[in-house]
């Protein structure tokens, strides 16, 4: 893991891009809602859902972000995509198994704003919490 394992997303992305991304790319960008690890309040952030080798993954592009810490703590959330809300369960992928998933993520999403730059700044797979997601157990 590099000495710096979290990047603050650029202001324009936080203020404008996060709100508009699901509108312009609904087939790619969804909204992840996760209960806060301290407050329990649900927080929502846009995420790109990667489908790879028959599984779905969420990758924290900007490193160890609040949503990644919250999802790591709770192991559950809600994924809204294409006007469909799904209760999900999430399991963090071990660092040693992340490289092929991150390579697939970059191949698919590197042209999205700030994704390529974030991976150049934080190249170590340990810096990008990665979660395998599926339907929440009932």
Please give the pLDDT value at position 124: 94
Domain map (residue ranges) of the chain: 11-135
Nearest CA among 58, 63, 62 for reference residue 47: 58
- Per-position pLDDT tens, the chain of length 138: 444 576 566 555 544 555 555 555 556 788 999 999 999 999 998 899 999 999 999 999 999 999 999 999 999 999 998 889 999 999 999 999 999 999 999 999 998 878 888 899 999 999 999 999 998 876
Please give the pLDDT value at position 3: 46
Please give the pLDDT value at position 86: 95
Please give the pLDDT value at position 27: 66
Residue 64: which residues within 8 A CB-CB, separation 6 or more? Answer: 5, 6, 127, 129
Domain 11-135 listed as CATH 2.30.110.10: yes
Q: Going by DSSP bridges, is the β-strand pair 84-92/42-52 parallel, antiparallel, or unpaired?
A: unpaired
């Amino acid at each position: 893991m590099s000495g710096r394992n979290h990047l603050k997303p650029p202001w324009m992305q936080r203020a404008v891009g996060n709100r508009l991304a699901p509108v312009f790319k609904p087939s790619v960008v969804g909204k992840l809602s996760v209960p806060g690890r301290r407050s329990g309040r649900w927080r929502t952030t846009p995420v790109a859902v990667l489908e790879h080798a028959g599984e779905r993954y969420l990758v924290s592009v900007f490193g160890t972000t609040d949503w990644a810490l919250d999802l790591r703590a709770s192991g559950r959330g809600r994924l809204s995509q294409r006007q469909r809300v799904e209760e999900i369960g999430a399991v963090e992928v071990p660092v040693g198994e992340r490289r092929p998933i991150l390579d697939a993520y970059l191949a698919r999403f590197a042209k999205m704003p700030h994704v390529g730059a974030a991976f150049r700044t934080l190249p170590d797979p340990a810096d990008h919490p990665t979660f395998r997601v599926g339907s929440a157990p009932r």
